[in-house]
């Protein structure tokens, strides 16, 4: 696990300049790799590569990067892990194509594969998470590649004008910003998408001319052919469509057996590490399954980590502790005060590098910080919901659409107008008067908020529009962003056909290729790498992903229970009663904080004169929602958090470019040449 940077052509190739520039770029992301640093430049060809290393496999100098292949043709900077690299070494040796091994790193294995099979054929064989840049000295061509689902980030783009334009790339935007050609212009289309979704979806970034390489794709570029050529070596859409079409021929018992086998093998490979390793444990189905299968294969107690909150509505630590006690893990928990959680907020712009507004970023950072005190690698249970139909929206969205379409569109519009004509606060008051006669399931529920959300759905014209609405925090963000527009995404203008998938499967597939990499995996990567912690996600072994798509929906949802097949695996190791409890979530009470502890901070960022001066948002719209939230008339915490995260990011961009997480021992003189 590391950080990579580099550039091709343009400014920065005078005597000694290329090394100085690429070292500055790498230093900006030093926390991604505090153990070692290196660079490689070829001024004649106009290429510079930089690397920061977090040593996980082969801690010796033999794992140093940039690394050349045995033939000398390829030079690589690599971020990630190839979990089956020992199998690849064996294949190379069996076919007499192995080089003289200098060490035991997976990067060296990858380079040997490039020499023997070529770049694409090698990564098609690889099981892992990665983002890398490879310079082909023979063809004078740069290749970028990103793992199948998008665990590891990779940004790229041309910056500057004319002969001074440079193709810059790297793990994080802050590295690219250190290049002298970087233009630093906010893309208002990308900002509009961030306001809608809480994150900037690939292939866009918050800066004009800079893009994210999408998961499962490769890119080549050269000074002779400056327009990047991009293609997919693996497709999440094809995995979903082909898996559903192929199906699973066995019984439900066969499916559970096969799933446990595949997950166990993925976990076995991901437990390979030369440094201490553990796992996040929330007590839910996904993380408990990962930890149970880890402990089954470990001769020592697995180190597990969770954080708890004193606010009981946001605390899963008790569930995690019970699962840990049953499995016999070495468990560490930390109860976090509201003050400790609030103290993370000023660090978010530097940590997340572009506006990012999933508030669970706060506890994710805190649990990563806790784990890093004990281990260097932590396994995670992310992606279980997307693969095994765990989200509530998979059930509610089709039901909503079926019920809505009973009424003509004109009546739905009329009903929506009637609902929103009464404020949520007033609806809640009326519901409070009726609470003694309501079913227990409806007591204490914010009826007004739910009615207003439902009213917004009534105007939807299709199932896809219902899904987009559920995945949006602002439904008309272009009206909020001055000069804003919404570029096409996989949810809108570029939506895949998903031939043969039903409505629920379409939502699951869209989540897998959008929400999962753009939100969930981004959240985890930045939070963990901000404290130099590597995270691994066994559910995202592509063999597990492809198998999950072969399972029929009846093996994912049965008798109203989600993630059925996955639960059956877990129940072999943990008592059912320990798991089947109401999910409490892994979040923070942003709604209340904005009306209390965070009020002054938010007020400063949402000041009307400031909004007018900066010129990104319609001040009247922002101020109206802010006042309605403060008064308790409506709950706008999600919408406001999106705006606040951009505002805080913008303030940080304008104030300083010094990384908050730079290692105190990192300096330019200490970088390897």
Query: Nearest CA to 147 among 49, 50, 79?
Result: 79
Q: How does residue 658 score in pLDDT terms, banded at 50, 70 and 90? A: very low
pLDDT digits (tens, 9 = 90+) for 552-579: 999 999 998 999 999 999 999 999 999 8
Sheet arrangement for strand 211-212: 36-42, 47-53, 2-8, 166-170, 155-159, 211-212
Better-scored residue on pLDDT, 241 or 275: 241
Identify the active-site residue in 2, 199, 389, 460.
Answer: 2
Query: What stretches of 245-351 adopt beta strand conformation (E)?
Result: 277-280, 303-309, 330-336
Instruction: Give the C-alpha separation, 664 to 666, whole Å.
Output: 6
pLDDT at 409 over 90: no
Query: Nearest CA to 642 among 472, 510, 522, 517?
Result: 472
DSSP state for residue 665 in the 8-state scheme: T
* Dihedral (CA of 572, 574, 577, 581) sign: negative
Question: Percent of the chain at pLDDT above 70?
Answer: 88
pLDDT digits (tens, 9 = 90+) for 286-309: 999 999 999 999 999 999 999 988
Alpha helices in 435-484 (DSSP H): 447-457, 463-470, 477-480
- Superfamily of domain 2-234 in CATH is Aminohydrolase, N-terminal nucleophile (Ntn) domain (3.60.20.10)
Residue 372, helix vs strand vs coil: helix
Average pLDDT over residues 503-525: 97
- Determine the length of the chain: 673
Neighbours of 364 (CB within 10 A): 24
pLDDT at residue 483, rounded to an integer: 96
Q: Which residues pair with 408 in a beta bridge?
A: none
pLDDT at residue 316, rounded to an integer: 75
Report the CATH fold assignment for 237-383+505-579. Rossmann fold (3.40.50)
Neighbours of 159 (CB within 10 A): 25
pLDDT at 397 over 90: no
pLDDT at residue 673, rounded to an integer: 29
pLDDT digits (tens, 9 = 90+) for 339-359: 888 999 999 999 999 999 999
Q: How does residue 520 score in pLDDT terms, banded at 50, 70 and 90? A: very high
Neighbours of 647 (CB within 10 A): 24
Residue 75, helix vs strand vs coil: strand
Using only the alpha carbons of the chain, give its radius of gyration: 25
Q: Establish whether 199 is a catalytic residue.
A: no
pLDDT at residue 230, rounded to an integer: 98
The tokens describing 201, both together, are 């979806």
pLDDT at 31 over 60: yes
pLDDT digits (tens, 9 = 90+) for 489-500: 999 888 899 999
Sequence spans of domains, the chain: 2-234, 237-383+505-579, 393-486, 590-655
DSSP-based helix, strand, coil % in the chain, nearest 5: 50, 15, 35
Exposure string over 396-414, b if 16+ CB within 10 A, otherwise e: ebbebbeebeeeeeeebee
């Amino acid at each position: 696990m590391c950080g990579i940077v580099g550039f091709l052509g343009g400014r920065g190739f005078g005597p000694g300049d290329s090394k100085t520039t690429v070292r500055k770029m790498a230093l900006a992301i030093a926390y991604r790799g505090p153990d070692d640093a290196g660079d490689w430049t070829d001024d004649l060809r106009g290429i510079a590569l930089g690397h920061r290393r977090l040593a996980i496999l082969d801690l010796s100098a033999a794992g140093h990067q940039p690394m050349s292949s045995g033939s000398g043709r390829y030079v690589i900077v690599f971020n990630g892990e190839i979990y089956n690299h020992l199998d690849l070494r064996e294949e190379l040796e069996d076919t007499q194509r192995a080089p003289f091994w200098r060490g035991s790193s997976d990067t060296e294995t990858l380079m040997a594969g490039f020499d023997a099979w070529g770049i694409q054929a090698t990564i098609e064989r690889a099981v892992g998470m990665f983002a890398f840049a490879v310079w082909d000295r023979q063809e004078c061509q740069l290749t970028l590649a990103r793992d199948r689902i998008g665990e590891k980030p990779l940004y790229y783009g041309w910056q500057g004008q004319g002969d001074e334009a440079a193709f810059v790339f790297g793990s994080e935007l802050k590295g690219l910003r250190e290049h002298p050609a970087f233009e630093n212009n906010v893309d208002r289309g990308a900002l509009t998408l961030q306001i809608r979704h809480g994150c900037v979806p690939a292939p866009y970034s918050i800066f004009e001319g800079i893009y994210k390489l999408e998961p499962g794709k490769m890119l080549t570029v050269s000074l002779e052919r400056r327009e990047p050529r991009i293609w997919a070596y693996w497709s999440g859409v094809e995995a979903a469509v082909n898996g559903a079409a192929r199906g699973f021929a066995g019984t439900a018992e066969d499916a559970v057996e096969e799933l446990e086998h595949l997950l166990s093998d993925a976990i076995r490979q991901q437990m390979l590490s030369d440094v201490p390793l553990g796992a996040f444990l929330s007590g839910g189905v996904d993380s408990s399954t990962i930890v149970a299968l880890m402990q089954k294969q470990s001769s020592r107690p697995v180190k597990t980590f969770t954080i708890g909150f004193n606010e009981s509505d946001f605390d899963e630590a008790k569930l995690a502790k019970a699962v840990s006690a049953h499995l016999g893990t070495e468990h560490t928990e930390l109860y976090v005060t509201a003050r400790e959680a609030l103290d993370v907020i000023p660090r978010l712009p530097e940590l997340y590098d572009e506006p990012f507004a999933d508030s669970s970023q706060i506890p994710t950072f805190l649990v990563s910080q806790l784990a890093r005190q004990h281990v260097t690698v932590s396994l995670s249970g992310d992606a279980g919901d997307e693969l095994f139909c765990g989200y509530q929206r998979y059930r509610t969205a089709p039901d909503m659409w079926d019920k809505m379409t009973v009424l003509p569109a004109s009546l739905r519009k009329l009903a929506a107008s009637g609902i929103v004509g009464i404020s949520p606060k007033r609806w809640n008051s009326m519901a409070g008067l009726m609470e003694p006669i309501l079913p227990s399931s409806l007591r204490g529920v914010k009826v007004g908020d739910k009615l207003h959300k439902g009213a917004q759905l009534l105007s939807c014209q299709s199932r896809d529009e219902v899904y987009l609405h559920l995945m949006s925090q602002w439904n008309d963000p272009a009206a909020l962003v001055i000069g804003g527009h919404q570029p096409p995404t996989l949810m809108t203008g570029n939506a895949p056909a998903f031939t043969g998938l039903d409505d629920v499967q379409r939502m699951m597939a869209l989540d897998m290729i959008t929400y999962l990499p753009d939100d969930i995996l981004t959240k985890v990567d930045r939070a963990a790498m901000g404290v130099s912690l590597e995270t691994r996600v066994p559910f995202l072994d592509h063999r597990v992903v492809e198998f999950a798509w072969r399972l029929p929906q009846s093996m994912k949802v049965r008798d109203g229970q989600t993630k059925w097949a996955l639960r059956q695996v877990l129940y072999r190791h943990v008592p059912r009663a320990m798991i089947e409890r109401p999910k409490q979530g892994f979040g923070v009470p942003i709604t209340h904080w904005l009306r209390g502890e965070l009020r002054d901070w938010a007020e400063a960022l949402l000041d009307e004169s400031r909004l007018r001066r900066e010129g990104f948002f319609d001040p009247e719209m922002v101020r109206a929602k802010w006042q309605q939230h403060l008064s308790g008339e409506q709950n706008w915490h999600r919408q406001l958090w999106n705006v606040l995260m951009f505002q805080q990011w913008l303030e940080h961009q304008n104030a300083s470019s010094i990384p908050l997480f730079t290692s105190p021992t990192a300096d330019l003189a200490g970088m390897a040449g």
